[in-house]
């Protein structure tokens, strides 16, 4: 798709402005971020105020570059801005995994390879679930994006997570919770056998 690089800057500036203005405009940020990610508008643009052409190969470099070239934020801040917007998180994950480790030409040290694995230490996060499902189970991934399943439900269906329950630290209430869940699933006898075998 041919892009107007000045128009790209208008959209990036709108996102940057909504982030600077705070709470009242932050509701627009995920929507603008999705447009920028879907259409690759962060990659190349002409800055309206200066007429300067700017290009990025890695989304992370665009995020962390100082304005007017970039957003002047961290990747974690952008992830927080996405909040619970599953589509925004998924697009962000795709963009971050795009060309990791490639030198951008924008850094002072041309040999600075910044290889980051965004899946580490986020094993229960939406971003991790979306990434895992996109690679291993595209059908369930599509259902999450469509809002038919939560990321956690899809991870359980795919066999990547085990369904869990919260148990109170009080014996009677703990027993009631266990009975309720295990009788419903028909695993009550198996649970009792496991309890007997615990030393």
pLDDT tens, residue by residue, 117-141: 444 434 458 889 999 999 999 999 9
96 occurs within a structural domain: yes
The DSSP line for 15-54 is HHHHHHH-HHHHTTHHHHHHHHHHTTTTSEEE-TTT--EE
Confidence of residue 109 (pLDDT cuts 50, 70, 90): very low
Q: Is residue 76 part of a domain?
A: yes
In a domain, 176, yes or no: no
Structural domain contains residue 188: no
**Number of domain units in the chain:** 1
Q: Is residue 4 part of a domain?
A: yes
pTM for the model stands at 0.72
The verdict on residue 180 lying in a domain is no
* pLDDT for 103: 44
**Two tokens, residue 36:** 């920028």
Question: And the tokens for 103?
Answer: 């030198």
Residue 48 covered by a domain? yes
29 part of a folded domain: yes
pLDDT band at residue 23 using 50, 70 and 90 as cut-offs: low
pLDDT in tens, 144-175: 999 999 999 999 999 999 989 899 999 999 88
For residue 110, what pLDDT is reported? Answer: 40
Domain that holds residue 11: 1-118
- Please report which confidence band the pLDDT of residue 101 belongs to, taking 50, 70 and 90 as the band edges: very low
């Amino acid at each position: 798709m041919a892009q107007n690089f000045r128009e790209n800057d208008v959209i990036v500036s709108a996102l940057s402005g909504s982030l600077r203005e705070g709470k009242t405009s932050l509701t627009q940020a995920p929507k603008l971020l999705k447009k920028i990610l879907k259409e690759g508008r962060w990659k190349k643009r002409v800055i309206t105020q200066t007429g300067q052409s700017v290009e990025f190969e890695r989304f992370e470099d665009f995020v962390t570059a100082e304005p007017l070239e970039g957003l002047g934020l961290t990747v974690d801040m952008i992830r927080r801005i996405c909040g619970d917007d599953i589509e925004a998180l998924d697009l962000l994950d795709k963009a971050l995994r795009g060309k990791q480790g490639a030198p951008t030409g924008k850094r002072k040290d041309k040999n600075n390879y910044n290889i980051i694995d965004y899946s580490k230490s986020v094993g229960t996060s939406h971003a991790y679930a979306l990434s895992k499902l996109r690679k291993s189970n595209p059908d369930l991934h599509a259902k999450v994006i469509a809002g038919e399943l939560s990321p956690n439900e899809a991870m359980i269906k795919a066999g990547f997570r085990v369904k869990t329950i919260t148990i109170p630290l009080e014996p009677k209430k703990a027993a009631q919770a266990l009975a309720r869940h295990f009788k419903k699933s028909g695993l009550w006898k198996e649970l009792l056998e496991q309890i007997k075998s615990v030393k």
